[in-house]
Structure 1
Amino acid sequence: MAALSRLSKPSSKFFANITRSVYFYSSASAAPEPEIKSYFQNHNFARKAPKDRNVQWVFLGCPGVGKGTYASRLSKFLGVPHIATGDLVREELASSGSLSQQLSEIVNQGKLVSDEIIFNLLSKRLEAGQAGGESGFILDGFPRTVKQAEILEEVMDIDLVVNLKLCEDVLLEKCLGRRMCSQCGGNFNVANINVKGGNGNPSISMAPLLPPAHCMSKLITRADDTEEVVKERLRVYNEKSQPVEEFYRNRGKLLEFDLPGGIPESWPKLLEALNLDEYEEKQSAAA
């Protein structure tokens, strides 16, 4: 626990180390649309220097790449909340609120949820976290458009954007293998992936992430994890992602990380890319 406490507010040296892993360019941004920006302005989110708060990171990547898995692990590692916009949407769907039916139609067609809805849900989540004493965050899968990125930049400082990458064949297989326990809500994956390398692409092996025995009979497939919907989501994401990646690359905040395999292979390499491997060693020594 002592090691985690020290990580909750990384030093200025930590942030300096991070910047050595990203690309440096410069670019001006367009002004965001006032009506969407107001979602954040109405909640008075204050900017704080990195030395006075926890990390404020964004995780990007195609559906199924593992944003949730790695963002969740890092949130526990660093002591910051993991905020996934996909989870916020699913929570709203389950609530039978005013947006539930509208969101259901959008998600089941594999389309992107509107900026207005996403910013509404996200601002409510950040406000609740702020009221509960949270500091910093790891955003998972947001922003997805340049307009969203511009608005986010206007209201808060993003320290780093991690772009996780995998080939599309592996992404499709992973998405179709996703399962959730209908009782405990745990996320698992039944896909056993073994892709041989070739044409400059590395071999990729990912073992299934199976549930405990008491969850096995309660596994369900998400409504939006059909082959047709997944392919449409990948197409839409790829169409929208390049401008967003370029937006953060131009600001020197983008770290592109090619996953070399499953969690055992990728986790230590991701920590190394984030200059966090030394903190892992300290944490292990203190355990």
Structure 2
Amino acid sequence: MAAITRLVKRASPSLSVSSTAARRLFCSESSSHAPPQDHFHAPQRKDPKDRNVQWVFLGCPGVGKGTYASRLCNLIGVPHIATGDLVRHELASKGPLSSQEILERVIDIDLVVNLKLQEEALLAKCLGRRICNQCGGNFNVASIDIKGENGSPGMFMAPLLPPAHCMSKLITRSDDTEAVVKERLRIYNEMSKPVEEFYRSRGKLLEFNLPGGIPESWPKLLQALNLDDYEEKRSAAA
């Protein structure tokens, strides 16, 4: 906890935090494109410069927490701080603090975004991950096209392909096998429930069902955060 406290003290008042079970930053919407009103009220529309931005991203491995948190941090100009390893170390140290006390004291969180994606798409994304063994770049060769059934919408996610000079140098992570990925998803779903309930009970959890890739999801995420006109104003001022 001392390490987390030092990290938070060094950060500016406006910041974003990320981890796996208390992971990344910012906000979302439900499958109906509106937050559940009995649990959550969307942040007031105001310039992010005039308020602290202390948002956390939750979500399964491969859902895109880092991608969306980084884009939002760049948009409104706040740091993106990854605290997952620090939290896991504190929980494993068998110190005097319970997991709830750690969640309470890591930082005064304003908003927690729970990113969700169909398991079929999550599995394909994880199995499609590739790393360039020369430049270290992260790419994804999966082209996800899920047909809608029984009135549910379909989903398309385009691959994130490397430049031509990286194509022959791609490698797969040793743990990106179907069996391992399915087990990671099972463990995450089991262990994340208390974290989700912790923030839900405090009216700070916002569910966001990703409708597709970045082109489809990014505008809807900004709407859920009441930031849909902020990007337009910033572009116009540039």
| Bin for the TM-score computed over the shorter chain | 0.7 to 0.9
Indicate yes or no: 2:165 matched with 1:214. Answer: yes
Alignment of 1:82-231 (within 5 A): 82-84=80-82, 114-116=88-90, 148=99, 150-231=101-182
Q: Show the counterpart of 1:72.
A: 70
Instruction: Please give the alpha-carbon distance, in whole angstroms, between the structure 1 residues aligned to 2:66 and 2:92.
Output: 17
1:278 to 229, 233, 236: 229
Q: Show the counterpart of 1:56.
A: 54
Question: What do residues 159-200 of structure 1 show as CA deviations (whole Å, max 9, x unaligned)?
Answer: 111111111111001100011222222221100001011245
Going by fraction, where is helix more abundant, 1 or 2?
1
Instruction: Please give the alpha-carbon distance, in whole angstroms, between the structure 2 residues aligned to 1:43 and 1:85.
Output: 9
In the TM superposition, what is the alpha-carbon distance from 1:211 to its structure 2 partner?
Answer: 1.1
Q: Show the counterpart of 2:9.
A: 45
Q: How many residue pairs get matched?
A: 200
Please, what TM-score do these two structures have when normalized by structure 2?
0.74
Write the letter of the residue equivalent to 2:199. Y
Write the letter of the residue equivalent to 1:162. V
In the TM superposition, what is the alpha-carbon distance from 1:148 to its structure 2 partner?
Answer: 4.4
Which consecutive unaligned segments of at least 5 residues does structure 1 have?
Answer: 1-36, 90-112, 120-146
In the TM superposition, what is the alpha-carbon distance from 1:284 to its structure 2 partner?
Answer: 1.6
Which consecutive unaligned segments of at least 5 residues does structure 2 have?
Answer: 15-48
Instruction: Please give the alpha-carbon distance, in whole angstroms, between the structure 1 residues aligned to 2:132 and 2:11.
Output: 39
Q: Contact 1:46/1:156 (CA < 8 Å) preserved in 2?
A: no
**Do the aligned partners of residues 196 and 243 (structure 1) sit closer, same or farther apart at CA in structure 2, a change above 3 Å counting?**
same
Write the letter of the residue equivalent to 2:61. P
**Do the aligned partners of residues 181 and 53 (structure 1) sit closer, same or farther apart at CA in structure 2, a change above 3 Å counting?**
farther
Instruction: Please give the alpha-carbon distance, in whole angstroms, between the structure 2 residues aligned to 1:185 and 1:216.
Output: 12
Q: Show the counterpart of 1:141.
A: none
Q: Contact 1:64/1:171 (CA < 8 Å) preserved in 2?
A: yes
Indicate yes or no: 2:206 matched with 1:241. Answer: no
**Do the aligned partners of residues 85 and 197 (structure 1) sit closer, same or farther apart at CA in structure 2, a change above 3 Å counting?**
farther
Identity %: 73
C-alpha RMSD of the superposition: 2.9
Write the letter of the residue equivalent to 2:90. E
Shifted more, 235-244 versus 217-226: the winner is: 217-226
SS in 2 for 1:179: strand
Question: What do residues 126-145 of structure 1 show as CA deviations (whole Å, max 9, x unaligned)?
Answer: xxxxxxxxxxxxxxxxxxxx
